[in-house]
A and B are shown apart, each in its own frame.
Chain A
Protein backbone atom coordinates (compact mmCIF):
# COMPACT_ATOMS: atom_id res chain seq x y z
CA UNK A 1 0.00 0.00 0.00
CA UNK A 2 2.69 2.44 1.02
CA UNK A 3 4.80 1.40 -1.93
CA UNK A 4 1.91 1.91 -4.34
CA UNK A 5 1.37 5.41 -2.98
CA UNK A 6 5.06 6.23 -3.27
CA UNK A 7 5.16 4.94 -6.82
CA UNK A 8 2.63 7.41 -8.13
CA UNK A 9 2.22 11.15 -8.02
CA UNK A 10 -0.21 12.04 -5.25
CA UNK A 11 -2.12 14.58 -7.35
CA UNK A 12 -2.48 12.11 -10.23
CA UNK A 13 -3.71 9.45 -7.83
CA UNK A 14 -6.29 11.74 -6.23
CA UNK A 15 -7.38 12.83 -9.69
CA UNK A 16 -7.87 9.23 -10.79
CA UNK A 17 -9.84 8.38 -7.63
CA UNK A 18 -12.14 11.29 -8.40
CA UNK A 19 -12.75 9.87 -11.86
CA UNK A 20 -13.99 6.63 -10.35
CA UNK A 21 -15.89 8.37 -7.54
CA UNK A 22 -17.46 11.01 -9.77
CA UNK A 23 -18.76 8.40 -12.20
CA UNK A 24 -20.59 6.77 -9.30
CA UNK A 25 -21.77 10.08 -7.85
CA UNK A 26 -23.12 11.57 -11.06
CA UNK A 27 -24.76 8.40 -12.31
CA UNK A 28 -26.21 7.75 -8.82
CA UNK A 29 -27.61 11.26 -8.81
CA UNK A 30 -29.13 10.88 -12.26
CA UNK A 31 -30.75 7.56 -11.36
CA UNK A 32 -32.07 9.02 -8.10
CA UNK A 33 -33.99 11.61 -10.15
CA UNK A 34 -36.38 8.78 -11.05
CA UNK A 35 -37.38 8.02 -7.49
CA UNK A 36 -41.18 8.17 -7.30
CA UNK A 37 -41.56 8.49 -11.07
CA UNK A 38 -40.66 5.02 -12.37
CA UNK A 39 -42.79 3.15 -14.92
CA UNK A 40 -43.70 0.42 -12.40
CA UNK A 41 -43.37 0.14 -8.65
CA UNK A 42 -40.82 -2.67 -8.91
CA UNK A 43 -38.68 -0.56 -11.25
CA UNK A 44 -38.88 2.39 -8.91
CA UNK A 45 -37.55 0.24 -6.10
CA UNK A 46 -34.83 -1.37 -8.23
CA UNK A 47 -33.65 2.01 -9.56
CA UNK A 48 -33.41 3.39 -6.05
CA UNK A 49 -31.28 0.38 -5.13
CA UNK A 50 -28.90 1.09 -7.97
CA UNK A 51 -28.71 4.77 -7.00
CA UNK A 52 -28.08 3.85 -3.38
CA UNK A 53 -25.27 1.47 -4.32
CA UNK A 54 -23.63 4.09 -6.49
CA UNK A 55 -23.88 6.82 -3.86
CA UNK A 56 -22.40 4.43 -1.30
CA UNK A 57 -19.54 3.62 -3.67
CA UNK A 58 -18.89 7.29 -4.40
CA UNK A 59 -18.57 7.95 -0.67
CA UNK A 60 -15.82 5.34 -0.45
CA UNK A 61 -13.97 6.47 -3.57
CA UNK A 62 -14.21 10.18 -2.81
CA UNK A 63 -13.28 9.51 0.82
CA UNK A 64 -10.11 7.83 -0.38
CA UNK A 65 -9.51 10.59 -2.92
CA UNK A 66 -9.68 13.16 -0.13
CA UNK A 67 -7.32 11.09 2.01
CA UNK A 68 -4.78 10.64 -0.77
CA UNK A 69 -5.03 14.31 -1.70
CA UNK A 70 -4.16 15.19 1.91
CA UNK A 71 -5.62 18.68 1.92
CA UNK A 72 -8.09 18.10 4.73
CA UNK A 73 -11.13 17.83 2.46
CA UNK A 74 -13.90 15.27 2.96
CA UNK A 75 -15.94 13.25 0.47
CA UNK A 76 -18.78 15.73 1.03
CA UNK A 77 -16.46 18.66 0.29
CA UNK A 78 -15.50 17.04 -2.98
CA UNK A 79 -19.11 16.30 -3.92
CA UNK A 80 -20.66 19.59 -2.90
CA UNK A 81 -17.95 22.22 -3.20
CA UNK A 82 -16.17 21.53 -6.48
CA UNK A 83 -17.30 23.35 -9.60
CA UNK A 84 -18.01 21.48 -12.82
CA UNK A 85 -14.48 21.87 -14.20
CA UNK A 86 -13.08 19.91 -11.26
CA UNK A 87 -15.40 16.94 -11.83
CA UNK A 88 -13.76 13.97 -13.53
CA UNK A 89 -16.68 11.74 -14.57
CA UNK A 90 -17.09 10.55 -18.13
CA UNK A 91 -19.67 12.38 -20.26
CA UNK A 92 -21.89 9.28 -20.54
CA UNK A 93 -23.04 9.39 -16.90
CA UNK A 94 -24.07 13.04 -17.01
CA UNK A 95 -26.36 12.52 -20.04
CA UNK A 96 -29.91 13.49 -19.03
CA UNK A 97 -32.30 10.70 -18.08
CA UNK A 98 -34.53 11.19 -21.10
CA UNK A 99 -37.15 8.48 -21.32
CA UNK A 100 -36.76 5.21 -19.45
CA UNK A 101 -35.11 3.63 -22.52
CA UNK A 102 -32.38 6.26 -22.43
CA UNK A 103 -31.84 5.77 -18.69
CA UNK A 104 -31.69 2.03 -19.06
CA UNK A 105 -29.35 2.01 -22.04
CA UNK A 106 -27.01 4.47 -20.32
CA UNK A 107 -27.00 2.17 -17.31
CA UNK A 108 -26.23 -0.91 -19.36
CA UNK A 109 -23.42 0.69 -21.36
CA UNK A 110 -21.84 1.95 -18.14
CA UNK A 111 -22.45 -1.23 -16.09
CA UNK A 112 -20.71 -3.33 -18.73
CA UNK A 113 -17.63 -1.10 -18.36
CA UNK A 114 -17.94 -0.68 -14.60
CA UNK A 115 -17.86 -4.41 -13.90
CA UNK A 116 -14.65 -4.88 -15.91
CA UNK A 117 -13.01 -1.94 -14.16
CA UNK A 118 -13.93 -3.22 -10.71
CA UNK A 119 -12.77 -6.75 -11.47
CA UNK A 120 -9.39 -5.39 -12.49
CA UNK A 121 -9.24 -3.07 -9.48
CA UNK A 122 -9.78 -6.07 -7.23
CA UNK A 123 -6.15 -6.90 -8.04
CA UNK A 124 -4.88 -3.41 -7.27
CA UNK A 125 -1.54 -3.04 -5.48
CA UNK A 126 -3.27 -0.59 -3.15
CA UNK A 127 -5.32 -2.72 -0.77
CA UNK A 128 -7.69 0.14 -0.03
CA UNK A 129 -8.63 0.25 -3.71
CA UNK A 130 -8.91 -3.54 -3.91
CA UNK A 131 -11.26 -3.61 -0.93
CA UNK A 132 -13.62 -0.95 -2.24
CA UNK A 133 -13.61 -2.63 -5.65
CA UNK A 134 -14.45 -6.03 -4.16
CA UNK A 135 -17.46 -4.59 -2.33
CA UNK A 136 -18.64 -2.59 -5.35
CA UNK A 137 -18.14 -5.49 -7.76
CA UNK A 138 -20.85 -7.53 -6.06
CA UNK A 139 -23.30 -4.66 -6.37
CA UNK A 140 -22.40 -3.85 -9.96
CA UNK A 141 -22.69 -7.50 -11.02
CA UNK A 142 -26.34 -7.18 -10.05
CA UNK A 143 -26.69 -3.81 -11.83
CA UNK A 144 -25.39 -5.37 -15.04
CA UNK A 145 -27.54 -8.46 -14.72
CA UNK A 146 -30.61 -6.26 -14.35
CA UNK A 147 -29.80 -3.69 -17.03
CA UNK A 148 -28.73 -6.31 -19.59
CA UNK A 149 -31.88 -8.31 -18.95
CA UNK A 150 -34.11 -5.28 -19.48
CA UNK A 151 -32.21 -4.17 -22.60
CA UNK A 152 -32.83 -7.62 -24.06
CA UNK A 153 -36.48 -7.74 -23.10
CA UNK A 154 -37.30 -4.25 -24.31
CA UNK A 155 -35.16 -4.51 -27.44
CA UNK A 156 -36.90 -7.74 -28.32
CA UNK A 157 -40.27 -6.52 -27.03
CA UNK A 158 -42.92 -4.45 -28.77
CA UNK A 159 -42.29 -2.37 -31.89
CA UNK A 160 -42.33 0.75 -29.75
CA UNK A 161 -40.00 -0.54 -27.04
CA UNK A 162 -37.60 -1.73 -29.76
CA UNK A 163 -37.66 1.67 -31.47
CA UNK A 164 -37.07 3.50 -28.19
CA UNK A 165 -34.16 1.28 -27.23
CA UNK A 166 -32.60 1.68 -30.66
CA UNK A 167 -32.94 5.44 -30.46
CA UNK A 168 -31.36 5.48 -27.00
CA UNK A 169 -28.48 3.31 -28.19
CA UNK A 170 -27.81 5.58 -31.16
CA UNK A 171 -27.83 8.69 -29.06
CA UNK A 172 -25.58 7.31 -26.32
CA UNK A 173 -23.10 5.37 -28.41
CA UNK A 174 -20.92 8.40 -29.10
CA UNK A 175 -20.28 8.72 -25.35
CA UNK A 176 -18.97 5.19 -24.81
CA UNK A 177 -15.51 5.55 -26.34
CA UNK A 178 -14.29 7.93 -23.65
CA UNK A 179 -14.43 5.18 -21.03
CA UNK A 180 -11.56 3.38 -22.79
CA UNK A 181 -9.22 6.29 -23.57
CA UNK A 182 -5.88 6.27 -21.77
CA UNK A 183 -4.18 9.48 -20.71
CA UNK A 184 -1.07 10.33 -18.65
CA UNK A 185 -2.94 9.81 -15.37
CA UNK A 186 -4.08 6.36 -16.45
CA UNK A 187 -0.55 5.49 -17.54
CA UNK A 188 0.88 6.51 -14.17
CA UNK A 189 -1.71 4.50 -12.25
CA UNK A 190 -1.21 1.45 -14.46
CA UNK A 191 2.57 1.60 -14.05
CA UNK A 192 2.15 1.62 -10.27
CA UNK A 193 -0.12 -1.43 -10.54
CA UNK A 194 -2.99 0.45 -8.92
CA UNK A 195 -5.41 0.44 -11.84
CA UNK A 196 -5.72 -1.12 -15.30
CA UNK A 197 -5.30 0.91 -18.45
CA UNK A 198 -8.84 1.78 -19.56
CA UNK A 199 -8.02 0.57 -23.09
CA UNK A 200 -7.35 -2.89 -21.68
CA UNK A 201 -11.02 -3.21 -20.66
CA UNK A 202 -12.39 -2.54 -24.14
CA UNK A 203 -12.46 -6.04 -25.58
CA UNK A 204 -14.36 -7.54 -22.63
CA UNK A 205 -16.85 -4.66 -22.80
CA UNK A 206 -17.23 -5.14 -26.55
CA UNK A 207 -17.96 -8.79 -26.03
CA UNK A 208 -20.70 -8.16 -23.43
CA UNK A 209 -22.29 -5.35 -25.40
CA UNK A 210 -22.23 -7.21 -28.71
CA UNK A 211 -23.83 -10.29 -27.19
CA UNK A 212 -26.56 -8.37 -25.36
CA UNK A 213 -27.41 -6.17 -28.35
CA UNK A 214 -27.65 -9.24 -30.57
CA UNK A 215 -30.04 -10.96 -28.19
CA UNK A 216 -31.99 -7.70 -27.90
CA UNK A 217 -32.25 -7.61 -31.72
CA UNK A 218 -30.71 -4.14 -31.67
CA UNK A 219 -28.34 -3.13 -34.46
CA UNK A 220 -24.77 -2.62 -33.23
CA UNK A 221 -23.87 0.99 -34.07
CA UNK A 222 -20.31 0.06 -35.11
CA UNK A 223 -17.56 2.65 -35.47
CA UNK A 224 -18.62 6.27 -35.11
CA UNK A 225 -17.43 9.65 -33.84
CA UNK A 226 -16.75 9.60 -30.09
CA UNK A 227 -16.94 12.52 -27.68
CA UNK A 228 -14.45 13.00 -24.87
CA UNK A 229 -13.34 15.46 -22.22
CA UNK A 230 -15.13 14.51 -19.00
CA UNK A 231 -12.10 12.81 -17.47
CA UNK A 232 -10.13 16.02 -17.95
CA UNK A 233 -12.94 18.25 -16.63
CA UNK A 234 -14.37 19.44 -19.94
CA UNK A 235 -18.04 18.59 -19.53
CA UNK A 236 -21.33 19.01 -21.33
CA UNK A 237 -23.73 21.84 -20.44
CA UNK A 238 -25.81 19.36 -18.46
CA UNK A 239 -23.39 18.92 -15.57
CA UNK A 240 -23.62 22.53 -14.42
CA UNK A 241 -27.37 22.26 -13.89
CA UNK A 242 -27.03 18.94 -12.11
CA UNK A 243 -24.49 20.48 -9.73
CA UNK A 244 -26.51 23.66 -9.22
CA UNK A 245 -29.29 21.46 -7.89
CA UNK A 246 -27.12 19.02 -5.97
CA UNK A 247 -24.94 21.64 -4.32
CA UNK A 248 -27.64 24.22 -3.58
CA UNK A 249 -27.81 23.92 0.21
CA UNK A 250 -24.05 23.72 0.75
CA UNK A 251 -23.56 26.76 -1.47
CA UNK A 252 -26.44 28.82 -0.08
CA UNK A 253 -25.55 28.20 3.58
CA UNK A 254 -21.76 27.87 3.69
CA UNK A 255 -20.33 26.30 6.81
CA UNK A 256 -23.66 25.00 8.13
CA UNK A 257 -23.80 21.46 9.45
CA UNK A 258 -26.60 19.20 8.21
Chain B
Protein backbone atom coordinates (compact mmCIF):
# COMPACT_ATOMS: atom_id res chain seq x y z
CA UNK B 1 0.00 0.00 0.00
CA UNK B 2 1.50 3.24 -1.06
CA UNK B 3 -0.72 5.45 1.08
CA UNK B 4 -0.34 5.05 4.82
CA UNK B 5 -1.85 7.09 7.65
CA UNK B 6 -3.64 9.41 5.26
CA UNK B 7 -5.41 11.93 7.42
CA UNK B 8 -9.05 12.10 6.48
CA UNK B 9 -11.02 15.33 6.66
CA UNK B 10 -14.65 15.47 7.57
CA UNK B 11 -16.26 12.62 9.52
CA UNK B 12 -19.67 14.24 9.78
CA UNK B 13 -22.76 12.43 10.94
CA UNK B 14 -25.74 12.49 8.60
CA UNK B 15 -27.45 15.04 10.82
CA UNK B 16 -24.49 17.39 10.49
CA UNK B 17 -24.36 17.18 6.69
CA UNK B 18 -25.78 19.83 4.38
CA UNK B 19 -28.32 18.65 1.74
CA UNK B 20 -25.55 18.95 -0.87
CA UNK B 21 -23.27 16.72 1.19
CA UNK B 22 -26.02 14.18 1.66
CA UNK B 23 -26.67 14.10 -2.08
CA UNK B 24 -22.94 13.62 -2.67
CA UNK B 25 -22.75 10.73 -0.21
CA UNK B 26 -25.79 9.12 -1.84
CA UNK B 27 -24.10 9.24 -5.23
CA UNK B 28 -21.10 7.45 -3.77
CA UNK B 29 -23.32 4.91 -2.05
CA UNK B 30 -24.97 4.18 -5.40
CA UNK B 31 -21.51 3.46 -6.82
CA UNK B 32 -21.37 6.53 -9.06
CA UNK B 33 -18.02 8.01 -10.07
CA UNK B 34 -17.14 11.55 -9.09
CA UNK B 35 -15.54 13.52 -11.93
CA UNK B 36 -13.20 16.55 -11.70
CA UNK B 37 -15.63 19.34 -12.59
CA UNK B 38 -18.35 18.11 -10.24
CA UNK B 39 -19.09 19.47 -6.81
CA UNK B 40 -17.38 17.66 -3.94
CA UNK B 41 -16.97 18.38 -0.23
CA UNK B 42 -13.72 20.19 0.55
CA UNK B 43 -12.77 17.36 2.92
CA UNK B 44 -13.13 14.79 0.14
CA UNK B 45 -10.94 16.88 -2.17
CA UNK B 46 -8.27 17.46 0.47
CA UNK B 47 -8.17 13.84 1.59
CA UNK B 48 -7.86 12.66 -2.01
CA UNK B 49 -5.03 15.11 -2.69
CA UNK B 50 -3.21 13.72 0.34
CA UNK B 51 -3.76 10.12 -0.66
CA UNK B 52 -3.03 10.50 -4.37
CA UNK B 53 -0.08 12.75 -3.67
CA UNK B 54 1.38 10.24 -1.24
CA UNK B 55 0.75 7.51 -3.76
CA UNK B 56 2.47 9.48 -6.55
CA UNK B 57 5.43 10.32 -4.30
CA UNK B 58 5.74 6.66 -3.38
CA UNK B 59 6.04 5.76 -7.05
CA UNK B 60 8.88 8.16 -7.73
CA UNK B 61 10.75 7.60 -4.47
CA UNK B 62 10.10 3.91 -5.11
CA UNK B 63 12.28 4.17 -8.21
CA UNK B 64 15.32 4.62 -6.01
CA UNK B 65 15.76 1.35 -4.08
CA UNK B 66 15.44 -0.67 -7.28
CA UNK B 67 17.26 1.87 -9.40
CA UNK B 68 20.12 1.19 -7.00
CA UNK B 69 20.74 -2.12 -8.83
CA UNK B 70 20.18 -1.16 -12.49
CA UNK B 71 23.88 -0.59 -13.08
CA UNK B 72 24.73 -3.85 -11.28
CA UNK B 73 22.07 -6.13 -12.78
CA UNK B 74 23.71 -9.50 -13.45
CA UNK B 75 22.68 -10.06 -17.10
CA UNK B 76 21.63 -7.88 -20.03
CA UNK B 77 18.10 -9.27 -19.84
CA UNK B 78 17.80 -8.57 -16.13
CA UNK B 79 19.14 -5.08 -16.69
CA UNK B 80 16.59 -4.33 -19.40
CA UNK B 81 13.69 -5.78 -17.39
CA UNK B 82 14.62 -3.87 -14.24
CA UNK B 83 15.09 -0.64 -16.17
CA UNK B 84 11.69 -1.09 -17.80
CA UNK B 85 10.12 -1.73 -14.42
CA UNK B 86 11.65 1.30 -12.74
CA UNK B 87 10.62 3.36 -15.76
CA UNK B 88 7.06 2.12 -15.26
CA UNK B 89 7.16 3.47 -11.70
CA UNK B 90 8.03 6.92 -13.07
CA UNK B 91 5.09 6.53 -15.45
CA UNK B 92 2.80 5.65 -12.55
CA UNK B 93 3.98 8.75 -10.75
CA UNK B 94 3.13 10.76 -13.84
CA UNK B 95 -0.43 9.36 -14.12
CA UNK B 96 -1.05 9.97 -10.45
CA UNK B 97 0.30 13.53 -10.43
CA UNK B 98 -1.86 14.24 -13.47
CA UNK B 99 -4.88 12.72 -11.76
CA UNK B 100 -4.17 14.79 -8.63
CA UNK B 101 -3.91 17.95 -10.76
CA UNK B 102 -7.60 17.54 -11.62
CA UNK B 103 -8.26 18.36 -7.96
CA UNK B 104 -6.68 21.79 -8.30
CA UNK B 105 -3.11 21.25 -7.13
CA UNK B 106 -0.10 21.38 -9.44
CA UNK B 107 2.64 18.78 -9.70
CA UNK B 108 5.17 21.40 -8.62
CA UNK B 109 3.16 22.15 -5.48
CA UNK B 110 2.94 18.46 -4.64
CA UNK B 111 6.66 18.01 -5.18
CA UNK B 112 7.41 20.98 -3.00
CA UNK B 113 5.45 19.35 -0.19
CA UNK B 114 7.36 16.12 -0.69
CA UNK B 115 10.67 17.96 -0.62
CA UNK B 116 9.89 19.98 2.50
CA UNK B 117 8.62 16.90 4.33
CA UNK B 118 4.96 17.98 4.59
CA UNK B 119 3.87 15.02 2.48
CA UNK B 120 5.06 11.46 2.99
CA UNK B 121 5.73 8.45 0.81
CA UNK B 122 5.43 4.79 1.73
CA UNK B 123 7.64 3.67 4.62
CA UNK B 124 8.87 0.67 2.61
CA UNK B 125 11.15 2.73 0.38
CA UNK B 126 13.26 3.76 3.34
CA UNK B 127 14.73 0.27 3.55
CA UNK B 128 17.95 -0.49 1.66
CA UNK B 129 18.37 -2.95 -1.23
CA UNK B 130 21.58 -4.69 -0.19
CA UNK B 131 21.81 -7.62 -2.58
CA UNK B 132 20.40 -8.65 -5.95
CA UNK B 133 17.90 -10.88 -4.13
CA UNK B 134 16.42 -7.71 -2.62
CA UNK B 135 15.36 -6.71 -6.12
CA UNK B 136 13.48 -9.99 -6.30
CA UNK B 137 11.99 -9.47 -2.83
CA UNK B 138 10.88 -5.93 -3.64
CA UNK B 139 9.07 -7.08 -6.78
CA UNK B 140 7.54 -10.09 -5.06
CA UNK B 141 6.59 -8.61 -1.69
CA UNK B 142 6.41 -4.84 -2.15
CA UNK B 143 4.66 -4.91 -5.52
CA UNK B 144 2.59 -7.82 -4.24
CA UNK B 145 1.41 -5.73 -1.29
CA UNK B 146 0.82 -2.74 -3.56
CA UNK B 147 -1.37 -4.80 -5.88
CA UNK B 148 -3.41 -5.99 -2.90
CA UNK B 149 -4.29 -2.38 -2.21
CA UNK B 150 -4.53 -1.11 -5.75
CA UNK B 151 -6.82 -3.71 -7.27
CA UNK B 152 -9.77 -2.57 -5.11
CA UNK B 153 -8.83 1.07 -5.77
CA UNK B 154 -9.79 0.54 -9.40
CA UNK B 155 -13.31 0.86 -7.97
CA UNK B 156 -12.58 3.99 -5.96
CA UNK B 157 -15.14 6.81 -6.15
CA UNK B 158 -12.94 9.41 -7.85
CA UNK B 159 -12.90 8.81 -11.62
CA UNK B 160 -9.38 9.93 -12.56
CA UNK B 161 -7.88 7.99 -9.63
CA UNK B 162 -9.80 4.83 -10.49
CA UNK B 163 -8.76 5.02 -14.15
CA UNK B 164 -5.11 5.61 -13.26
CA UNK B 165 -5.32 2.51 -11.07
CA UNK B 166 -6.56 0.36 -13.94
CA UNK B 167 -3.44 1.14 -15.97
CA UNK B 168 -1.15 0.84 -12.98
CA UNK B 169 -2.52 -2.54 -11.91
CA UNK B 170 -1.80 -4.06 -15.31
CA UNK B 171 1.84 -3.08 -15.03
CA UNK B 172 2.17 -4.01 -11.37
CA UNK B 173 1.28 -7.62 -11.99
CA UNK B 174 4.17 -7.81 -14.47
CA UNK B 175 6.39 -6.27 -11.81
CA UNK B 176 5.42 -8.81 -9.24
CA UNK B 177 6.06 -11.67 -11.66
CA UNK B 178 9.54 -10.37 -12.49
CA UNK B 179 10.30 -10.16 -8.77
CA UNK B 180 9.11 -13.69 -8.14
CA UNK B 181 11.07 -14.88 -11.16
CA UNK B 182 14.27 -13.43 -9.66
CA UNK B 183 13.44 -15.14 -6.35
CA UNK B 184 12.92 -18.49 -8.10
CA UNK B 185 16.30 -18.20 -9.80
CA UNK B 186 17.98 -17.27 -6.55
CA UNK B 187 16.19 -19.88 -4.44
CA UNK B 188 17.13 -22.64 -6.88
CA UNK B 189 20.65 -21.33 -7.45
CA UNK B 190 23.91 -21.79 -5.59
CA UNK B 191 24.02 -22.00 -1.78
CA UNK B 192 25.12 -18.35 -1.73
CA UNK B 193 22.20 -17.27 -3.91
CA UNK B 194 19.74 -19.20 -1.77
CA UNK B 195 21.14 -17.57 1.36
CA UNK B 196 20.72 -14.15 -0.28
CA UNK B 197 17.10 -15.00 -1.10
CA UNK B 198 16.35 -16.04 2.49
CA UNK B 199 18.11 -12.98 3.85
CA UNK B 200 16.05 -10.73 1.56
CA UNK B 201 12.82 -12.34 2.76
CA UNK B 202 13.95 -11.95 6.38
CA UNK B 203 14.57 -8.24 5.94
CA UNK B 204 11.56 -7.37 3.77
CA UNK B 205 8.82 -9.46 5.41
CA UNK B 206 7.85 -7.15 8.26
CA UNK B 207 8.40 -3.89 6.35
CA UNK B 208 6.07 -5.34 3.68
CA UNK B 209 3.41 -6.05 6.33
CA UNK B 210 3.79 -2.46 7.54
CA UNK B 211 2.85 -1.19 4.08
CA UNK B 212 -0.83 -1.70 4.88
CA UNK B 213 -0.64 0.72 7.78
CA UNK B 214 -1.42 0.17 11.47
CA UNK B 215 -4.23 -2.03 12.64
CA UNK B 216 -7.70 -0.64 11.96
CA UNK B 217 -8.41 -0.36 15.65
CA UNK B 218 -5.61 2.25 15.79
CA UNK B 219 -6.36 3.82 12.44
CA UNK B 220 -8.40 6.93 13.04
CA UNK B 221 -8.85 7.96 9.44
CA UNK B 222 -10.25 4.79 7.95
CA UNK B 223 -13.97 5.22 8.57
CA UNK B 224 -14.49 8.48 6.66
CA UNK B 225 -12.26 7.38 3.78
CA UNK B 226 -14.21 4.16 3.52
CA UNK B 227 -17.53 6.00 3.52
CA UNK B 228 -16.21 8.08 0.61
CA UNK B 229 -14.88 4.93 -1.11
CA UNK B 230 -11.41 6.40 -1.25
CA UNK B 231 -10.40 3.40 0.76
CA UNK B 232 -12.14 0.15 -0.03
CA UNK B 233 -10.78 -2.41 2.45
CA UNK B 234 -9.48 -2.09 5.99
CA UNK B 235 -5.75 -2.33 6.63
CA UNK B 236 -6.14 -5.60 8.50
CA UNK B 237 -8.23 -7.22 5.76
CA UNK B 238 -5.59 -6.42 3.17
CA UNK B 239 -2.72 -7.52 5.40
CA UNK B 240 -4.44 -10.85 6.06
CA UNK B 241 -5.04 -11.37 2.36
CA UNK B 242 -1.41 -10.58 1.61
CA UNK B 243 -0.11 -13.06 4.20
CA UNK B 244 -2.45 -15.78 2.96
CA UNK B 245 -1.33 -15.25 -0.61
CA UNK B 246 2.38 -14.96 0.15
CA UNK B 247 2.96 -17.84 2.57
CA UNK B 248 2.40 -20.60 -0.05
CA UNK B 249 4.61 -18.68 -2.50
CA UNK B 250 7.43 -18.64 0.05
CA UNK B 251 6.93 -22.34 0.62
CA UNK B 252 7.14 -23.01 -3.11
CA UNK B 253 10.46 -21.15 -3.14
CA UNK B 254 11.69 -23.27 -0.24
CA UNK B 255 12.13 -20.16 1.90
CA UNK B 256 11.05 -19.66 5.49
CA UNK B 257 8.85 -16.73 6.51
CA UNK B 258 10.62 -15.22 9.53
CA UNK B 259 7.72 -15.62 11.96
CA UNK B 260 7.59 -18.36 14.59
CA UNK B 261 3.92 -17.68 15.23
CA UNK B 262 2.87 -18.17 11.65
CA UNK B 263 0.36 -21.00 11.35
CA UNK B 264 -2.80 -21.85 9.48
CA UNK B 265 -5.97 -21.17 11.47
CA UNK B 266 -8.66 -23.50 10.17
CA UNK B 267 -11.39 -21.68 12.05
CA UNK B 268 -10.81 -18.26 10.45
CA UNK B 269 -9.67 -19.75 7.16
CA UNK B 270 -6.46 -17.73 7.20
CA UNK B 271 -3.04 -17.59 8.78
CA UNK B 272 -2.28 -16.38 12.27
CA UNK B 273 0.85 -14.26 12.16
CA UNK B 274 2.91 -11.81 14.23
CA UNK B 275 2.36 -8.10 13.98
CA UNK B 276 5.26 -6.05 12.71
CA UNK B 277 7.05 -3.79 15.19
CA UNK B 278 4.88 -0.69 15.01
CA UNK B 279 7.45 1.35 16.91
CA UNK B 280 9.80 0.78 14.03
CA UNK B 281 7.06 1.79 11.59
CA UNK B 282 6.42 5.10 13.36
CA UNK B 283 10.17 5.74 13.59
CA UNK B 284 10.53 5.22 9.83
CA UNK B 285 7.53 7.45 9.11
CA UNK B 286 9.06 10.10 11.38
CA UNK B 287 12.21 10.11 9.25
CA UNK B 288 14.40 7.64 11.12
CA UNK B 289 14.44 4.69 8.73
CA UNK B 290 17.75 3.40 7.40
CA UNK B 291 17.47 5.33 4.11
CA UNK B 292 15.11 8.27 4.70
CA UNK B 293 17.88 10.79 4.32
CA UNK B 294 19.27 9.24 1.13
CA UNK B 295 15.88 8.76 -0.52
CA UNK B 296 14.50 12.23 0.07
CA UNK B 297 17.96 13.70 -0.47
CA UNK B 298 18.17 12.06 -3.89
CA UNK B 299 14.79 13.47 -4.92
CA UNK B 300 15.62 16.96 -3.70
CA UNK B 301 18.98 16.84 -5.46
CA UNK B 302 17.38 15.71 -8.74
CA UNK B 303 14.91 18.57 -8.48
CA UNK B 304 17.46 21.24 -7.52
CA UNK B 305 20.03 20.08 -10.09
CA UNK B 306 17.30 20.08 -12.73
CA UNK B 307 16.19 23.67 -12.07
CA UNK B 308 18.39 25.17 -14.81
CA UNK B 309 17.09 22.56 -17.25
CA UNK B 310 13.44 23.35 -16.57
CA UNK B 311 14.14 27.10 -16.57
CA UNK B 312 16.07 26.79 -19.83
CA UNK B 313 13.15 25.08 -21.54
CA UNK B 314 10.78 27.76 -20.26
CA UNK B 315 13.09 30.50 -21.49
CA UNK B 316 13.21 28.90 -24.93
CA UNK B 317 9.43 28.57 -25.05
CA UNK B 318 9.08 32.26 -24.21
CA UNK B 319 11.62 33.26 -26.87
CA UNK B 320 9.90 31.11 -29.45
CA UNK B 321 6.53 32.63 -28.57
CA UNK B 322 7.94 36.16 -28.88
CA UNK B 323 9.46 35.32 -32.26
CA UNK B 324 6.17 33.85 -33.47
CA UNK B 325 4.37 36.95 -32.24
CA UNK B 326 6.85 39.28 -34.01
CA UNK B 327 6.47 37.33 -37.24
CA UNK B 328 2.70 37.64 -37.25
Binding site for B on A (CB under 8 A): 25, 29, 32-33, 35-45, 48-49, 51-52, 55-56, 58-59, 62, 75-76, 79-80, 99-101, 152-154, 156-158, 160-162, 164, 245-246, 248-250, 253, 255-258
Contacts and interface: CB of A to CB of B under 8 A. Distances in A.
A39 B305 contact: yes
Contact of A153 (B78, B192, B316): B316
A38 B306 contact: yes
B76 A75 contact: yes
Contact of B76 (A49, A55, A157, A249): A55
Contact of A35 (B70, B78, B132): B70
A258 B312 CA distance: 43
Given A153-B316, A157-B315, A41 B185 contact: no
Contacts of B298: 36-37
Given A48-B83, A55-B76, A158 B90 contact: no
B306 A55 contact: no
B87 A154 contact: no
A218 to B, nearest CB: 13
Contacts of A156: 316, 319
B13 interface: no
B306 A40 contact: yes
B59 to A, nearest CB: 10
A103 B302 CA distance: 14
Given A37-B301, A39-B309, A39-B310, 13 more contacts: A35-B63, A38-B306, A40-B306, A44-B63, A100-B306, A157-B311, A158-B314, A161-B312, A162-B312, A255-B190, A256-B190, A258-B132, A258-B182
Interface in B66-98: 67, 70-80, 83-84, 86-87, 90-91, 93-94, 97
Contacts of A100: 305-306, 309
Contacts of B86: 35-36, 48
B252 interface: no
A39 B299 CA distance: 10
B80 A41 contact: no
A33 B63 CA distance: 12
Contacts of A59: 76-77, 80
A153 B308 CA distance: 12
B90 to A, nearest CB: 5
Nearest to A163: B308
Contacts of B308: 158, 160-161, 164
Nearest to B313: A153
B248 interface: no
B162 interface: no
A147 to B, nearest CB: 14
Interface string B285-328: 00000000000001001110111111111111101000000000
B80 A52 contact: yes
B189 interface: yes
B193 A256 contact: yes
Contact of B310 (A40, A99, A245): A40
Most chain A beta-carbon contacts within 10 A, residue among B76, B80, B189, B303? B76
B60 interface: yes
Contact of A55 (B79, B189, B319): B79
Nearest to B93: A41
A154 B71 contact: no
B94 A45 contact: yes
Contacts of B76: 25, 55, 58-59, 62, 75-76, 79
B267 to A, nearest CB: 43
5 contacts: A40-B309, A52-B84, A100-B309, A153-B312, A164-B312
B251 to A, nearest CB: 22
Contact of B189 (A42, A49, A56, A256): A256
B296 to A, nearest CB: 13
| Nearest 9 A/B pairs, CB to CB | A39-B306, A161-B312, A157-B312, A36-B63, A48-B87, A36-B67, A258-B74, A158-B315, A249-B74
Contact of B311 (A99, A158, A245, A249): A158
A44 B302 CA distance: 10
A152 B77 CA distance: 34
